[in-house]
Amino acid sequence: MIGKARRGTRLRGLLLYLFGPGTNGEHRDVHLVAGFDEPRQLEPPQRPDGSRDISRLDALLTHPMKLLGERNYHKPIWHLPLRAAPEDPILSDSQWARIAEQVMDRVGLAPDGDPDAVRWIAVRHADDHIHLVATLARLDGVRPEVWNDAHLIRAGCREAEDELGLRRTAPADRTAPRRATRGEQEKARRNGQAEDPRSVLRRHVQEAAAAARSESEFYELLSGAGVLVRHRYSQQSSDQVTGYAVALPDYRTAAGSPVWYGGGKLAADLTLPKLRARWSSAGPAVSGRGLDERTVRAYLRTAVRKAADQAQTVGDFLARLESAGIMVRTRHSTRDSGQITGYAVTLSDHRDAQGQLTWYTGGRLGADCSWQRLTDAWQDGSARRCEPTELSADERRAIYEDAACAAAVASAEVRRHTVTNPYAARDACWATADVLRSAARVTGNCHLRQAAEAYDRAARPPFGRLPAPTPAGSRLRSIARVLAITDSGDSIALQLATTLALALLALMEAITDLHRLQHRRAQADAAGAASAHLRHIDPEEHPWLSRHQETPEPVALAMADQPAPWAPPILGGSLSMSAASGGARQKQGRGPAL
């Protein structure tokens, strides 16, 4: 059973609609099933023409509002439709009356046995739903509190489901994204837009948050995607940003102003404080632990070129690298200790077989990244100092193999925590969404995008409580930022995406089992829907993706039969690398860190 409360100002118009024929004549046998008094006493009389005279009922409901006077709510009319699922049995009037009384008691507007409660009615004009209408004014002159009523309504609906054996719906745990309003949907339809602006902006913000390493880069990615960004500043400190809002350039009000949406209006985990917690609490933005040398070199080259393009001086260049989470080491002249003659960069935890950090000089990353080329460009004031970043096929392949390896490690971690401590797996579930969104954006694959959108609710922690960072979750967020540099929708990326899709399938199933164990049906269904979309990725190339079952054992058999360079069989909840892949990594001195 579902219900969503609305607020309004025109009680008479609402009553005329409820007791009328409906927009298309769908209202039949309109009558009251419950209310603040006996329904027979409140039932509007019928006129000779068949219409209802609602004048008396309107006066009875609005009378308490006169006691409040100026203390009335700006929108004092409370309207709650309650609808049963299509497969539920048709409920009787007495059953609907019982549900209405329970909900009004649970919300606190009309507690059981309270003679001074608000005045309300329950109207039924269809088999599967009723409408609760109340005026937010008590008979004792007190204005009732309706804050947080959505969660109380959800609790009342679940109570009715348990009592009457109706289809169980998800609890109000704030994991569902904010849906577009009816007005937003209709406006998008009139403008010929396939998607409402709220959903479009949520996708842009989620993709930018997954790829960004810092707050400034987050805003930069949003602007690069054509999204308008507005900051909210602290009242105590005018230079302190406390929030943000986004808008689409072509979606405006009648007056021509952009329609702004705060992060919290898009999803519970997209507020600025929670985004900042994501960037600051999980260690370095990108860790080199377990990454292939080709992946690290490609990522560092991209970061160096971006910093060089934006910097104006040597100090600015080095500061930008450090702010991006890149470790920097400079070489100084033997004659003048203040003169820098070279530099080297690396990622945190990117070590060789002896446990020493592996450094890369600018010339090793690319000819245009050498120190001499950079300093010459700064002296000349060139607008463009570096060539556009191009990744080789080997580098792309290494990045996707590392992403698949991170997904396999997370899958094993989730299955281990499912048995020992399910709450410890929430960080990996949350970070999985970042990998899906980054992969969907860089490949342009519709199935990956649909999988990311379907998985959205399964990723979000309940009640907006951010989970504590874990190594598996941090590794997934790190690889999501690395995937962002492979921005290409060519066929090579699609072929490599099948390798990642296979690992994500195993991870999806581990997450589905976790949510089922915790009796979180909506989240389990979301993860299952994401798995269904992943199975459609290039089925002709890998037909075993379509035959994939719900348990991880067939995954291992399928992967063992494929000539893939990476094949992490998952047997009995443990993770092992294939001999070829593991041997290659051991030769390089960096086996996968579990």
Give the number of other Cβ atoms within 10 Å of residue 391's Cβ. 22
Helix (H) or strand (E) holding 185: helix 182-190
Region 263-271 average pLDDT: 89
Check whether residue 319 and residue 261 sit in a common domain: no
**300 occurs within a structural domain:** yes
Q: Is 299 helix (H, G, I), strand (E, B) or coil?
A: helix
**568 occurs within a structural domain:** yes
pLDDT score of 565 more than 60: no
Asked which of 356, 380, 404 is the last residue of a domain, the reply is 380
**466 occurs within a structural domain:** yes
The region of weakest confidence among 61-75, 383-397, 402-416 is: 383-397
pLDDT score of 558 more than 60: no
Check whether residue 153 and residue 197 sit in a common domain: no
Q: How confident is the model at residue 285 (pLDDT cuts 50, 70, 90)?
A: confident
**181 occurs within a structural domain:** no
Region 399-406 average pLDDT: 93
Asked which of 358, 380, 402 is the last residue of a domain, the reply is 380
Instruction: Output the pLDDT for position 162.
Output: 87
Instruction: Output the pLDDT for position 282.
Output: 55
Closest CA to 572 of 419, 379, 369, 364: 419
Check whether residue 355 and residue 423 sit in a common domain: no
Q: How confident is the model at residue 509 (pLDDT cuts 50, 70, 90)?
A: very high
Report the domain count for the chain: 4
Q: How confident is the model at residue 117 (pLDDT cuts 50, 70, 90)?
A: very high
Check whether residue 301 and residue 241 sit in a common domain: no
Check whether residue 241 and residue 349 sit in a common domain: no
Residues 288 and 295: their CA atoms lie apart, in Å, by 9
Percentage of the residues of the chain whose pLDDT score is greater than 70:
86
Check whether residue 486 and residue 509 sit in a common domain: yes
Of residues 239 and 328, more confidently modeled: 328
Instruction: Output the pLDDT for position 231.
Output: 94
483-499 pLDDT, tens per residue?
988 865 455 555 677 88
Closest CA to 218 of 204, 208, 210: 208
Closest CA to 452 of 467, 466, 434: 434
Q: How confident is the model at residue 590 (pLDDT cuts 50, 70, 90)?
A: very low
Structure tokens at 359: 């450094």
CATH of residue 71? 3.30.930
Q: Is 113 helix (H, G, I), strand (E, B) or coil?
A: coil
**151 occurs within a structural domain:** yes
Check whether residue 150 and residue 213 sit in a common domain: no
14-31 pLDDT, tens per residue?
999 999 998 888 898 999
**387 occurs within a structural domain:** no
Residues 192 and 256: their CA atoms lie apart, in Å, by 18
Check whether residue 359 and residue 214 sit in a common domain: no
Instruction: Output the pLDDT for position 573.
Output: 36
Structure tokens at 534: 């992943």
**60 occurs within a structural domain:** yes
Region 511-518 average pLDDT: 91
Structure tokens at 14: 């609402």
Residues 215 and 222: their CA atoms lie apart, in Å, by 11
Q: Range of 480's domain?
A: 393-588
356-375 pLDDT, tens per residue?
999 999 999 988 889 988 88
Distance of CA 394 to the CA centre of its chain: 32
Check whether residue 405 and residue 545 sit in a common domain: yes
Instruction: Output the pLDDT for position 191.
Output: 83
Instruction: Output the pLDDT for position 508.
Output: 94
Check whether residue 86 and residue 232 sit in a common domain: no
Check whether residue 215 and residue 98 sit in a common domain: no
**454 occurs within a structural domain:** yes
Asked which of 258, 280, 302 is the last residue of a domain, the reply is 280
Determine the residue type at 299: Y
Check whether residue 540 and residue 512 sit in a common domain: yes
CB neighbours of 344 closer than 8 A, spacing ≥ 6? Answer: 328, 329, 331, 359, 360, 361, 362
